[in-house]
Amino acid sequence: MEPIRLGVIGCGVIGTHHVTSAANSPLVELVAVADMLEERAQAAAEKFNVPSYYNNDEDLLNDKKVEAVALAMPVGVRTPIAFKALQKGKHIILEKPAASHVEEIEKMIALRGDRVVACCSPRNAFSAHAEAAKKCVASGTLGKIRIVRVRAILGVPPHPSDNPPPWRQSMKLNGGGILMNWSCYDLDYLMQITGWQLRPRVVLAKWWPVAEKMSAYVADGSDADSHYTAFISCEDDIVLTMERAEFSSATTDQAWEIIGTEGTLHLPMRPQKGKPNAVILDRFVPGEGVVSEAIWEEGQNGGPSGGVLEDFVNAVHGHKQPKTNLERALVMQKITDAIYASAESGGAISIS
């Protein structure tokens, strides 16, 4: 299999991750990097022996050696570059979230043609614990699913960062706050595990900005959500509940659960201090009540091989869809847009 000739646009924190992964992958030939700060692009090129570096996206996209690009910058800047990349016939790896609004994903679908566009939101689905949970759901052990639940409340740390990133809670730069920044991971993880059977129909939600007392933890001018909660009614009598907060007055509390008529899964999307890194299955046993067992524990193998980059390369070579394509990103974006719309209107929002 010939390596994919990849360019990376954006050499900041997450961009460095893409550059490192590409440089170390036998599936990829890293041929160019770009960043608006030319010295940052130059430093990345020198460190990883990349033959070309640029201080803008246009020059990299016009580089005929580049057949695919990883776009690693805040979504407010990234989306116009994604449009240009597709118009120039490039395959794309999109950082998360895939877009700011549904219309942007629909435009990417219209521009895509036969190109592969992969999203980075399924990172946590490339794990042994996700695979174990997915097999459990598919086996029918849980019975009929009733509730899929996300709760991730992060308590405020003792001291703020010296330079909070300006995009983190910005409607313009990030399309939103904690909902945009993290909940695409929540949704993708749980959608993959449940086989994409959650079909949202009605959303009722509310969000709040960072509290005044914690305002030093975010950049000046931040205008997006630091805490949100949402109730999402889905087809087939399933409810999805989502809540996330950062810089919260509550102690950290994280839970991802799938609750069925006959069993419940407790999931460790990310390791949590003081808690076992395991997938726990609760089942009702007549005469015993609810019995718990670990169906996966840290150290066990059994997850899908590779990750977002390998999945992307295989999709390009195999002319197939990546783990999360634009159509799946569109489902998640419809939920996100409806959460913001519901919070703004104060009422329930229907999803077509």
Task: Identify whether residues 17 and 158 lie together within a single domain.
Answer: no
Q: Which whole number is the average pLDDT over 208-232?
A: 97
pTM: 0.95
Residue 213 in domain = yes
Task: Identify whether residues 110 and 136 lie together within a single domain.
Answer: no
Provide the pLDDT for residue 243: 98
* Domain extent at residue 275: 124-303+333-350
DSSP secondary structure, 209-242, as one string = ---GGGGGGS-TT--S-SEEEEEEEEGGGEEEEE
Dist CA 198 CA 187 (whole Å): 10
Residue 279 in domain = yes
Task: Identify whether residues 108 and 224 lie together within a single domain.
Answer: no
Dist CA 196 CA 161 (whole Å): 37
Confidence of residue 193 (pLDDT cuts 50, 70, 90): very high
Dist CA 136 CA 272 (whole Å): 22
Task: Identify whether residues 151 and 66 lie together within a single domain.
Answer: no
Task: Identify whether residues 146 and 34 lie together within a single domain.
Answer: no
Q: In this model, does residue 148 exceed pLDDT 70?
A: yes
Out of 6-20, 301-315, 322-336, least confident range: 301-315
Dist CA 231 CA 179 (whole Å): 14
Task: Identify whether residues 109 and 192 lie together within a single domain.
Answer: no
CATH of the domain at 115: 3.40.50.720
Q: Which whole number is the average pLDDT over 254-280?
A: 91
Nearest to 327 by CA among 126, 122, 108: 108
Confidence of residue 302 (pLDDT cuts 50, 70, 90): low
The H or E element spanning position 333 is: helix 326-345
CB atoms within 10 A of CB 199: 11
Total tally of structural domains belonging to the chain: 2
Judge whether 107 and 99 are in contact, CB under 8 Å. Answer: no
Mean pLDDT of the chain: 95
Task: Identify whether residues 257 and 150 lie together within a single domain.
Answer: yes
Residue 328 in domain = no
CA atoms within 13 A on the CB side of 278: 12
pLDDT tens profile 94-129: 999 999 999 999 999 999 999 999 999 999 999 999
Provide the pLDDT for residue 144: 97
The H or E element spanning position 284 is: strand 278-285
Dist CA 98 CA 104 (whole Å): 9
Confidence of residue 303 (pLDDT cuts 50, 70, 90): low
pLDDT tens profile 234-243: 999 999 999 9
CA atoms within 13 A on the CB side of 64: 0
253-260 and 52-54: which strand pairing? unpaired
Task: Identify whether residues 67 and 199 lie together within a single domain.
Answer: no
CATH of the domain at 161: 3.30.360.10
Provide the pLDDT for residue 298: 86
Task: Report cis status (omega within 30 of 0) of the bond before 97.
Answer: yes
